[in-house]
Structure 1
Amino acid sequence: MGASQPIRSKPILTLTVNPALDVSTSTEQVVSVHKLRCSASRLDPGGGGVNVSRVVRRLGGQTLAVHTAGGATGEAYRRLIVAERVPSLVVPIEGSTRQNFTVDEATTRKQFRFVLEGPRLSEAEWRACLSALASSVPPGGFVVASGSLPPGVPEDFYARVARMVHEGGAHCIVDTSGVALTQALAEGVFLVKPSRRELGEHFDTVLDSTQSQVDAASALVATGAAEYVALTLGGAGAVLASKSGVIRLPVPPVQVLSTVGAGDSFLAGFVLRLAQGRPAEAAFRTAVAAGSAAVMTPATELCHRDDVERLEADLPAAVWLPG
């Protein structure tokens, strides 16, 4: 029997305008005023789109990560991406790439996450991001625009991205929050992945019931804001809404070590399976498995392929139900 052939896949490009050098460590107890002796630190190249590209690579896919980088932290960031063999297109900026800091408290197993503001981008710099995207949009492929917007970037940035991707003949996937999310949805996207809080903020309500969550996700589809809405609910699972109906899946029982990167892992599993030609319901199962696998890893680590495949095999079938 011959060697198995690699799965053919449509191209995947990710865009991250506010990446972060993730620094993580642990200490016995977080106490004010006192010096806190910490364990050895870990460094990872974080930020929504870059994390998606990293997980796509781990799951056997191909991707191109477009991201900004500047200063000494930007140089460290570049080296880490090269070490993970993630192809990238760097948009140089004058400011220094931000850092995020995660501390695990050993005595309580609590996690403290400090998310720093990114460097201010000039108009020339954020327009350079759009230019890099314009020259790289993969016709027929997928573009994942993910993460927060740094100071200086207009709130309609992701709406501009969605318009550009659509004009380039590709599918736009957006994962952000607040006004940036609202503006992108007004333009219309292929897939959006909000959390319960983010979707509730969009509708100025609290989605505290199963029906309210399904209704909100379905409303975005009905108005044409998104073809697919993947609503993540933490330990309560996830909901997928489309014109075909609604799917709700639970998360498998796993030991939660860290939730950092779980949403990015979820999105990476979803878009990779779509790029490989799998139906949305199958992609959704992989996404839930990838997000669950990510919380099994410590600090800022992401999911591992063997964990994803094992958890996916144990998930129930994904069946479309009326919304």
Structure 2
Amino acid sequence: MIYTVTLNPAIDLVIVTKKLEPRVVNRTESSELQPNGKGVNVSFILKKLGIESVATGIGGGFTLDYITAGLEQKKIQTNFFKVDEPSRVNVFTNVLDQDTEYKEVNPGPKIGQKPQEQFLAYLTATLKEDDVVVVSGSFSSGIKPAILTKIAQISHDQRAKLVIDSSYLEVMDTLPYHPFLIKPNDAELASFFKFKGKLTKAKTVELAERLVEAGCSNVLVSLGAQGAALVNRNQVLFANAPKIKVVNSACAGDTMLGTFIAFLEKKKPVEEALKVAVAAGSDTASRVGLTDFELDVLLTQVMIKEGKR
């Protein structure tokens, strides 16, 4: 089983408006509420591709009820540990006359120790060999990034595969527990090593290889408009991104990760997994909601090339 972990779930309010002016009423063209959180999105993508998962984590209030209802409507299992304070609502505003997007992301509720202990105990009791644990996104206030190490240790002890998509520097502390995959973007990869120079393709490979040498099996680097790179002990692969008009970039990385995991679960070649993952992530970025996986046009634009070690 795949367990997606979201420790700061959200409802995303996605707005499209012709203009955005201060101190006046701005009438919008459209809006949509979406159950969200990075792990939640991974569960949605897995389901679209026929892969079952359990969405778990910690959240609260009527907003968490909305999020879990959205998951369960798609027949995705949920097991969130609930607090009283509501989970956050984020706002993403696409302004047409500016051809730009504004992202307003809230911190989330304060989480005490008891629900954290309950969540960790659940993982310890539930995980089995070859299960996959996907930890994605930021954590609510009160959850220290060091929880990543605890999750890594539990996953290692239970012989489950750990996947991490998070910007915290504590990601580095999980390497002794041999995570299966880490998915940083280019800025996060640089920050892991306190690198402040230009992140060329060669430097991207060098830093990703350092993660592999330290214990990570696979490193999937999101390069934004440049596509993505995959580095492991056997190969270096680059995929270019197709040309799109960005509408809402909030869920593109989650789509890429969920698609990549799904194709590996289906035992597809890693080159195919990377190609479809990049196309799907780009398709999500070009629309308000998640991709519908009608990717024929985008797939013709994505090329996989081997990189140099």
Question: TM-score w.r.t. structure 1 length?
Answer: 0.89
For 2:298, the equivalent position in structure 1 comes to 311
CA distance in 2, matches of 1:205, 1:186: 22
For 2:13, the equivalent position in structure 1 comes to 23
Query: Which range is displaced more, 101-110 or 185-194?
Result: 185-194
For 2:211, the equivalent position in structure 1 comes to 220
Please, what is the CA RMSD of the aligned residues?
Answer: 1.8
Counterpart of 1:86 (choices 76, 79, 83) is: 76
For 2:114, the equivalent position in structure 1 comes to 124
Whether the 8 Å contact between 2:120 and 2:151 is mirrored in structure 1 is: yes
For 2:234, the equivalent position in structure 1 comes to 244
CA distance in 1, matches of 2:56, 2:128: 13
Alignment of 1:277-292 (within 5 A): 277-292=267-282
Q: CA deviation at 1:310?
A: 5.2
Q: 1:156-207 CA deviation, whole Å, 9 max, x = no partner?
A: 1111111111111111000001233233345431100000111111111134
Change (3 A) 1:91 1:281: same
Q: 1:221-252 CA deviation, whole Å, 9 max, x = no partner?
A: 1222x110011100111111100021111112
Q: CA deviation at 1:29?
A: 1.9
Change (3 A) 1:39 1:133: farther
One-letter code aligned to 1:15: V
Structure 1 alignment gaps of length 5 or more: 1-10
Whether the 8 Å contact between 2:61 and 2:82 is mirrored in structure 1 is: no
Percent of pairs with identical residues: 26
Whether the 8 Å contact between 2:46 and 2:52 is mirrored in structure 1 is: yes
Whether the 8 Å contact between 2:156 and 2:178 is mirrored in structure 1 is: no
Indicate whether 1:176 and 2:166 are aligned: yes
Whether the 8 Å contact between 1:53 and 1:64 is mirrored in structure 2 is: yes
For 1:4, the equivalent position in structure 2 comes to none
Q: CA deviation at 1:123?
A: 0.4
Structure 2 alignment gaps of length 5 or more: none
CA distance in 2, matches of 1:320, 1:155: 34
For 2:101, the equivalent position in structure 1 comes to 111
For 1:76, the equivalent position in structure 2 comes to 66
CA distance in 1, matches of 2:23, 2:176: 47
Q: 1:7-37 CA deviation, whole Å, 9 max, x = no partner?
A: xxxx321111111111111222222222322
Change (3 A) 1:130 1:306: same
Indicate whether 1:295 and 2:282 are aligned: no
Q: 1:53-109 CA deviation, whole Å, 9 max, x = no partner?
A: 001111222111113231121222222222232221121112211111111112122
Whether the 8 Å contact between 1:50 and 1:67 is mirrored in structure 2 is: no
Alignment of 1:138-149 (within 5 A): 138-149=128-139
Counterpart of 1:164 (choices 154, 167, 176) is: 154
Alignment of 1:260-271 (within 5 A): 260-271=250-261
Indicate whether 1:189 and 2:179 are aligned: yes
CA distance in 1, matches of 2:73, 2:297: 26
- SS for the counterpart of 2:126 is coil
Aligned length: 308
One-letter code aligned to 1:190: F
Whether the 8 Å contact between 2:13 and 2:32 is mirrored in structure 1 is: yes
Whether the 8 Å contact between 1:91 and 1:132 is mirrored in structure 2 is: no
- SS for the counterpart of 1:231 is strand
CA distance in 2, matches of 1:152, 1:182: 20
Query: Which range is displaced more, 159-168 or 70-79?
Result: 70-79
Change (3 A) 1:12 1:311: farther
Query: Which range is displaced more, 259-268 or 89-98?
Result: 89-98
Whether the 8 Å contact between 2:132 and 2:163 is mirrored in structure 1 is: yes
